[in-house]
A and B are shown apart, each in its own frame.
Chain A
Amino acid sequence: MIRWLAGRVLVFVPVLWVVATLTFALLRFLPGGPFDREKTLPPEILRNLERRYALDGTLAEQYADYLGRLARFDLGPSYKYVGRDVSDILADALPVSVQLGLLALAIALGGGVALGLAAGARRGSGIDRGVGLATLVGVSAPSFVIGAGLILGVALGLDWLPAGLWESPAFAVLPALTLAALPLAYIAQLTRAQVAAVMDQDYVRTARAKGVPEGRVRRHHVLRNALLAVLTYFGPLLAMLLTGSFVVEKIYAIPGMGRFFVTAVTNRDYPLVLGVTLVYAALVLVANLLVDLLYAWLDPRIRVAPDRR
């Protein structure tokens, strides 16, 4: 088990290297540089800037320099935010995105599984229809529509909650709901389909025939199997929610990391783009590892390590 885990973690290194290299190359293919301005800079000033940020060497030198710093866990300075290192920026922004992401994750999982279970266990009922319609809306409406709707309805219309900013837990409600809407709907659909399929399985019928109480049947036999499908989605979902969403953070003015996925590219802030990309990649890797471990725990058929021994 430990060896398997260590092997998986070791594979992270080449994967991250490939991500770093590809991002580096793509950024340099992109026309326009960090110091292209509406007000063009005189050439001598441009030279000073390129020297300061070590952009005056060849591309190979810059790449070597970048990898060298990366190996020392140094993400370099931001080109846009003077005097701030990318690691400072991420240290400020990531915790905010993580808090919001965890809240959204709880809402999405709790709400999605509950709705999916309720709908799947009573196929064709009014509940099922209602959930089907609601989740269809949730899956297809983009977050800026849901966000705008919530701001207009709850903030401006009812004046229950603020339309944005990040002051107290109350300020997290609308963004968390907006962020959770899509995964909640998707999880509900997944759960519903799985529950509906599992309900007809022989082992469920057997359990019922044995006289196991229905609640226990649903918790132990139905839900556990239905959750396997949700788990497959859990890995990418976790990484996506924790690193923040550009749209949600922008419309609610939340100081998280999601906005940098777009603004850093717009500014051609190469070190910041590479920083957020690597954090995201690392989170995807860790989340997928977590999912594999959870699989093994939920489904005895997938338990890897003990079988090998």
Chain B
Amino acid sequence: MTTLGFASLRATLARRLPAPPRTAADGADVSTSLGGASLLVVGVCCAVVLAGCGRESMRAAPRELRINLETEPPSLDWSLATDGVSIIAIQQLMRGLTRLGRALRAEPDLAERWWVSSDGLTYTFVLRPGVVWSDGAPLRAQQFVDGWLRLLAPETAAEYAYFLFPVKNARAFNSGQLADPAQVGVRARDDATLEVELEAPLVYFPALVSFMVTFPQRRELIARHGERWTEPPNLVTLGPFVLEEWRHEYRLVMRANERYWAGRPTLDRITAYMIEEDSTALVLFEQGLLDLVRLPPLEIRRYATRPEYVRQPLLRGYYYGFDVQEPPFDDVRVRRAFALAIDRSVFPGLLQGGELPWPSWIPPGMPHANAQLGLGFDPERARSLLREAGVDPAALPPVRIVFNSDQTHKLVAEKVQALWREHLGVRVELENREWKVFLKEVAGDPPAVFRLGWGADFPDPDNFMNLFTSYSENNHTRWANPHYDALVERAARAPDPAERQRLYDEAQAILCEQDVPIVPLFVAASNFALAGRVRGFVPSAMDQYFFDEVSAE
């Protein structure tokens, strides 16, 4: 049928167009054009044959794990790295004083035990005996001091230096006001004892020292290799894996550390590729060339019922903020009305990424979260609040929602636009911005309504609640409530969990019910595809991954 159709088409064409002049040497012409075509065919055949051998290099060896890191880690220097990708790599290579267990509580790691003084100001950590670095050198308490002082030194210009600002004089040293590092509140009492003095009591300090910026460092090696100290073979670490190869923008290879204090890990090797395009990574996973990939949002539904599917809710909140000094949002009743008009239950179906609607700010999974707090969906009350505030929705100029250009943010904004139009009768305009332009605008002259998110740096509510204190650089709402500030400060020092719960409940009620500078919408989740040959993979709500307990057939 096809051939027939094609032949008749050719006949028609032949009738309509004069045939090209034929010459005696027409054969030469055919061979020229066929020459090109056949070259192509030969080329492709060669390639296909090569493909067979080529891919062997990527076939999994037993006890090898092949994962997708997605992007190049900007740094493997744990004083300077700040992003999730670098953290995943560093967590395989290094260890800290404590480590977050499955319940996200600080558990002993390099510190065998610790205690805090009765005034809550001095922490003493006793190091585990017998820990050695991958070059055989023993772990000493001074190496923590060296690492912390390097992190805080102004010339290091470490972005995450502020993690150690709770330590006595750390902030003054980092800002250059204090030149003498000996006055910073960290010292090695002996090779096995580290003593830390704080500015003020901080109950979650043991969780803080599970974070990479507090890991020990070898000052002499950094001095010897300069900025290249994180390149193999220069990099000396003490975690379950050591760095074997770092091909920039392409892959990291880590192999088992024979000297790891807890015993060699089950895996021989982790190969971590940097494949930015999540759909390409998924095809490679389906071709059997990768073992663990993050699922593209559009593929989650297809994978949801498969055994390879792994979902993990994250300690990552998504919220809409108001500029509380810009009319009409300078009236708290208007802010409450807009919050009450949002039906959060639409987001999981809309986004398909395992999002969990959450009306308050401390995310579920974090201690002291409270599902009972926050403004739910109540369009009736929303409209009456608007009336009470004397706002005529029809006369209101269009409300502007600004977000950074991204498919998810666009979907959310469109949904909120529709909800506000439907339930409040207000007109809403959407504007998207390139990421850095957006950040500049939000920090400088915030739009009336904007979207932002926050992922936990450490699993304590202070990390979330601190965000909206009047002095936080991350509070872009221009909202300030001294009572809220005081509650958050008191909660950070309160050793009694019941008291902390009470303080955080009160603070969350101010933030999410009473003053409403923000409307928390939902918490995000991670969605993975994991190959059947891999066992023991435990995802974490902090988006942290430890592969020392993983095995692969």
> Interface on A for B, CB 8 Å cutoff?
30-33, 35-45, 47-49, 51-53, 80-84, 89, 92-93, 107, 110-111, 113-115, 117-118, 121-127, 129, 148, 151-152, 155-156, 159-171, 173, 208, 213-215, 218-219, 250-253, 255, 259, 266, 268
Contacts and interface: CB of A to CB of B under 8 A. Distances in A.
B157 A52 contact: yes
A3 B273 CA distance: 50
A251 B175 CA distance: 43
Interface in B147-162: 154-159, 161-162
A37 B54 contact: no
Contacts of A121: 20, 29, 33
A124 to B, nearest CB: 4
Given A48-B154, A127-B33, A32 B25 contact: no
Given A89-B248, A214-B26, A215-B28, A251 B277 contact: yes
Contacts of A41: 159, 162, 473
A45 B159 contact: yes
A88 to B, nearest CB: 8
Contacts of A156: 283, 286-287
B271 to A, nearest CB: 11
B162 A82 contact: no
Contacts of A113: 36
12 contacts: A33-B436, A40-B443, A44-B171, A44-B176, A82-B75, A83-B80, A83-B228, A114-B33, A117-B33, A124-B20, A168-B53, A214-B24
Residues of B contacting A: mostly: helix
B275 interface: yes
B402 to A, nearest CB: 13
Interface stretch (B44-52, B113-121, B370-378, B389-397): B44-52
Given A45-B162, A111-B40, A213 B157 contact: no
Contacts of A37: 82, 159, 439
A126 B13 contact: yes
B443 A163 contact: no
Contact of A45 (B161, B249, B435): B161
B248 A92 contact: yes
B203 to A, nearest CB: 22
A255 B25 CA distance: 48
Contacts of A152: 283
Contacts of A124: 13, 17-20
A51 B175 CA distance: 12
A114 B35 contact: yes
A155 B287 contact: yes
Interface in B435-449: 435-441, 443
Nearest to B153: A48
Contact of A32 (B18, B279, B286, B440): B440
Interface of B: 10, 13, 17-20, 23-26, 28-29, 31-33, 35-37, 39-40, 43-44, 47-48, 50-55, 57-58, 72, 74-75, 77, 80-82, 154-159, 161-162, 165, 171, 174-176, 227-228, 230, 247-250, 273-277, 279-281, 283-284, 286-287, 289, 434-441, 443, 452-454, 457, 473-474
B284 A163 contact: yes
B275 A164 contact: yes
Contacts of A166: 250
Contacts of A148: 279
Given A31-B441, A117-B32, A255-B250, A162 B74 contact: no
A127 B453 CA distance: 57
A163 B279 CA distance: 10
A44 B161 CA distance: 10
A173 B436 contact: no
Contacts of A214: 23-26, 28-29
Given A162-B51, A163-B283, 15 more contacts: A30-B437, A36-B443, A38-B452, A40-B474, A83-B80, A83-B228, A121-B29, A129-B13, A156-B283, A160-B48, A160-B51, A163-B287, A169-B50, A214-B23, A218-B28
Contacts, number: 241
Nearest to B43: A107
B435 to A, nearest CB: 7
Contacts of A163: 280, 283-284, 287
B20 to A, nearest CB: 5
B36 A115 contact: yes
Nearest to A217: B25
Nearest to B44: A173
B276 A250 contact: yes
A81 B75 contact: yes
Contact of A155 (B37, B176, B283, B438): B283
Contacts of B10: 126
B331 to A, nearest CB: 27
B473 A170 contact: no
Given A110-B36, A170-B55, A251 B280 contact: yes
Contact of B157 (A51, A92, A151): A51
B47 A173 contact: yes
Nearest to B82: A37
B248 A84 contact: yes
B338 to A, nearest CB: 23
A36 B43 CA distance: 48
Nearest to A168: B54
A68 to B, nearest CB: 21
A52 B155 contact: yes
User: Sorted from nearest, which 5 A-B pairs have the closest CB atoms?
Assistant: A114-B36, A32-B436, A214-B25, A118-B33, A215-B28
B280 A168 contact: no
A44 B77 CA distance: 21
B157 A123 contact: no
A162 B284 contact: yes
A38 B453 contact: yes
A266 B32 contact: no
Nearest to A260: B249
A162 B473 CA distance: 46
Nearest to B47: A173
Contact of A114 (B18, B37, B474): B37
A94 to B, nearest CB: 12
A184 to B, nearest CB: 10
A250 B72 CA distance: 13
Nearest to A169: B50
A168 B50 contact: yes
A35 B248 contact: no
Given A114-B33, A214-B25, A81 B286 contact: no
A30 B440 CA distance: 11
A253 B157 contact: no
A267 B281 CA distance: 23
Given A42-B162, A117-B32, A83 B227 contact: yes
A261 to B, nearest CB: 14
Contacts of A84: 227, 248
Nearest to B38: A114
Contacts of A52: 155, 157
B29 A82 contact: no
Nearest to B248: A92
Given A81-B75, A110-B36, A165-B273, A35 B159 contact: yes
A114 B36 CA distance: 5
Given A80-B74, A214-B24, A38 B55 contact: no
Contacts of B228: 83
Contacts of A80: 74
Contacts of B439: 32, 36-38
A48 B25 contact: no
B252 to A, nearest CB: 12
